[in-house]
Chains A and B, each alone.
Chain A
């Protein structure tokens, strides 16, 4: 158990709903769910979730902290916003899903091998490093996420696409080596660092 996780368990005891309300983005909406199930029915990936949103809300109220935070479910959200549009109680469900995923990640208890989490992390590091996304680095990184052999295989599969992009000037092969950073990337890094400090302080993560 990570330190932060221990702190939170200690702080909220059994009241997971309260913990979610305090720490998860838009978490104060969870109590407003009326269990109609429209979100679960609207989700294009619904059948592939272990616990669809409606169920996650119920689990939060039932205090199933570990089951929710260690779940792969909210990582399945593709931000299509179907659920938000349809929710009769107007819950920002997509945001709550991302909020939960983010919170679990911050606590260090999100599933380690979840591909969405790993990609999100890669994306974050990529964009915060230079203030803009280095697409070539990101996609190559994605190919090699599961090891060298599968990386080569995926790279070869995408070769025709890559060559096509090269020909039409949509891909700069030197991007792999040069930074491709924006101007004042260091300042952006500072800003993000400051924002994180503020958020941690507000949510009590600083301890």
Chain B
């Protein structure tokens, strides 16, 4: 790479020219910022302005561009030049929109702008142009684990899009639980009657698709690698092992029905005539349209009670706390098996809250028209006998009652087939790796054999914001292993996950990051000679991207990396960095600020704001002209997790009066785009008090906040609060 040549461009548009002395800013860029080319422009983002920059890149040899104009979040595409390192000094949202236009404030506003120009140039000087991940893989084949409806749909969708698929199913046939159903809940107009499952068609499509290779009776005994270059050992029942190379993985391992034998009070195990929903499907399949007979004595069923929420939505030990989502519709469908065959059969659905997602409301109404009785009540006991007695509490009439039936169906829930809980089952030591029978993927990842769990044993990283995304890059979950769901949702899920997997292999083949920094070419590297093998990066990486090599040094799998920088924040010896984002790029910005002396009455507040939520919130505050202290200097960070405590210590040492960290919500309902980054940062910062005491500084000078993107009023208020605090406790004594 040629020497760094910085071009600084100062825009006068959007009122910047009126409010600020841009000539002075240009001088600062040249003298202090070491920019070789400095230009002012009336309207930098117009074609003329952009042409000017392009011309400098082509003819003047400018390879680092500093744009002193608006926030980095606006005009990002306009100011995007190939093979050039770009940094942005935020003069519009960061300065003129958040400060008053009064004459007496002119001086401090100009100082603020000048500092942002200094910071932009300082960052640019330390940046390198990202070259893209050199050790990327090109394999674009997709492995689908599980041959149920989710898995088959994912395979078909990926194949239709033009990707080769490898489908691994542990049983001897495709179809999963859906193949065991008599009929399915309807997915087309008029949503009134049970319909064919469609599984046979799916299987036919798979079998006739030459791009889909199927392994039946097979499990995965080893998964290693990274997006674009995964390798999987597939063991067949006969004992043979095939090693296959793939680019991405869709885990559609589905669910296991909750073991109804854990519900003896509801007659499970005590009477043959108490079955779960799959048990009833078997009876209906055996009857094949004829009268359904009960298991104990083969009597034709003339009355049936469906007990909803059996062993689920419960706070009892050993029962499921969640709603499985499909069971109400399933019971409605099963009641229709009886009603459609003989309308005189008594069918009672005993529910507490009837939940019929999708078009289930029409289906529910159709069942009512067919004469299915819906009783709002909680079953407490099923007494076995030739006529079963369901004791329940009627929730409308508020009384204890008994319903008699020939057959009782328990609507039990879905338990995810998510493999082993990596929090409970630690990974084997490097070199002593062994397959675990309970594991689905048997990953050779330092962080565990299976995907991290989100809640109640389901594999996902965020049910709402990042569906299908797991915390392992290139591995996506679809169907009931991700969250409880019905067939309609599973099919939608499978399609989504297939597209995610395709994105992953395509990004990987270009050496780029996947979600959420999709397209990012930078990747982390570490200085081996400085590393102390403390393993903090390995442990803290939210995505399991870092393994350890035989000598116990961290081994980065760049393709697995999401570029959040949590490893960089974790490293106590600061040897981890990205080309365009490092301890230095931020550190030099912090130090680049011109620090007035203790008696100037001009404090400095450093804000390290997460670029995902906090920084946009501040930008939006600026758009609404909500003002905050002009003594503030904001630096966007990729994630709060990337904040190395050295930045905070350095800032305090160099005279900042207050430091604010703004990240996303952490904990159970987290909103951190990198799942754990904000949480880790909060943990790290909880220990900052000791550092402050060592420096004999007040602990109020450093604050860490969770800020949502909607906190447009609150984020500036937090800054102003710090400004007031500083006024109260006085300026930092550490200024030079």
Encode B372-410 as 1/0 by CB contact (under 8 A) with A: 011110000000000000000010110001000000000
Which partner residue on chain A sits nearest B396 by CB separation?
A58
Encode A56-73 as 1/0 by CB contact (under 8 A) with B: 001101101000000000
* Interchain nearest-CB distance for A157 vs B (Å): 41
B160 at the interface (CB under 8 A from A): no
Stretch at the interface among A30-38, A113-121, A170-178, A195-203: A30-38
A34 to B354, CA, bound (A): 9
* Interchain nearest-CB distance for A22 vs B (Å): 13
* Interchain nearest-CB distance for B192 vs A (Å): 14
* Interchain nearest-CB distance for B297 vs A (Å): 23
B97 at the interface (CB under 8 A from A): no
The contact sample of 16 A-B pairs, CB cut-off 8 A, is A17-B373, A31-B369, A31-B371, A32-B365, A32-B368, A34-B364, A35-B376, A35-B396, A55-B396, A55-B397, A58-B396, A59-B397, A62-B394, A62-B397, A62-B401, A89-B365
Number of interface residues of A (CB under 8 A): 13
* Interchain nearest-CB distance for B328 vs A (Å): 12
A61 to B373, CA, bound (A): 7
Given contacts A58-B394, A59-B397, contact A31 B368 (CB under 8 A): yes
A64 to B354, CA, bound (A): 23
Residues of B within 8 A of A62 (CB): 375, 394, 397, 401
A54 at the interface (CB under 8 A from B): yes
A89 to B369, CA, bound (A): 12
* Interchain nearest-CB distance for B691 vs A (Å): 59
A176 to B263, CA, bound (A): 73
A138 to B285, CA, bound (A): 66
A31 to B373, CA, bound (A): 7
* Interchain nearest-CB distance for A152 vs B (Å): 44
* Interchain nearest-CB distance for B646 vs A (Å): 60
* CB-based contact A34/B397 at 8 Å: no
Q: Give chain A interface residues in 52-94, CB to chain B under 8 Å.
A: 54-55, 58-59, 61-62, 64, 89
Which partner residue on chain A sits nearest B373 by CB separation?
A61
* Interchain nearest-CB distance for A124 vs B (Å): 33
* Interchain nearest-CB distance for B2 vs A (Å): 71
B contact residues, range = 10 to 19
A10 to B365, CA, bound (A): 31
* CB-based contact B396/A54 at 8 Å: yes
Beyond the given A34-B368, A58-B396, A89-B365, please list 16 additional residue pairs across the A-B interface where CB-CB is below 8 A.
Answer: A31-B373, A32-B365, A34-B354, A34-B374, A35-B374, A35-B376, A35-B396, A55-B396, A55-B397, A58-B376, A58-B394, A59-B397, A61-B375, A62-B375, A62-B394, A62-B397
Which partner residue on chain A sits nearest B397 by CB separation?
A58
Most buried by A among B374, B375, B396: B396
Q: Give chain A interface residues in 12-38, CB to chain B under 8 Å.
A: 17, 31-32, 34-35
* CB-based contact A32/B369 at 8 Å: yes
* Interchain nearest-CB distance for A17 vs B (Å): 7
Residues of B within 8 A of A58 (CB): 375-376, 394, 396-397
Most buried by A among B368, B371, B401: B368
A35 to B398, CA, bound (A): 13
Residues of B within 8 A of A54 (CB): 396
Residues of A within 8 A of B394 (CB): 58, 62
A64 to B394, CA, bound (A): 13
Which partner residue on chain A sits nearest B351 by CB separation?
A35
Residues of B within 8 A of A59 (CB): 397
Residues of A within 8 A of B376 (CB): 35, 58
A17 to B375, CA, bound (A): 13
A50 to B543, CA, bound (A): 61
Which partner residue on chain A sits nearest B395 by CB separation?
A35
A32 to B366, CA, bound (A): 9
A17 to B368, CA, bound (A): 12
Residues of A within 8 A of B365 (CB): 32, 89
Most buried by A among B365, B371, B397: B397
* Interchain nearest-CB distance for B349 vs A (Å): 11
* Interchain nearest-CB distance for A31 vs B (Å): 5
Which partner residue on chain A sits nearest B354 by CB separation?
A34
Which partner residue on chain B sits nearest A64 by CB separation?
B397
* Interchain nearest-CB distance for B305 vs A (Å): 13
Q: Give chain B interface residues in 392-430, CB to chain A under 8 Å.
A: 394, 396-397, 401
A61 to B401, CA, bound (A): 13
A59 to B401, CA, bound (A): 12
Q: Give chain B interface residues in 565-607, CB to chain A under 8 Å.
A: none
Residues of A within 8 A of B396 (CB): 35, 54-55, 58
Residues of A within 8 A of B368 (CB): 31-32, 34
Residues of B within 8 A of A64 (CB): 397
A34 to B361, CA, bound (A): 10
Which partner residue on chain B sits nearest A51 by CB separation?
B397
A55 to B371, CA, bound (A): 18
Residues of B within 8 A of A32 (CB): 365, 368-369
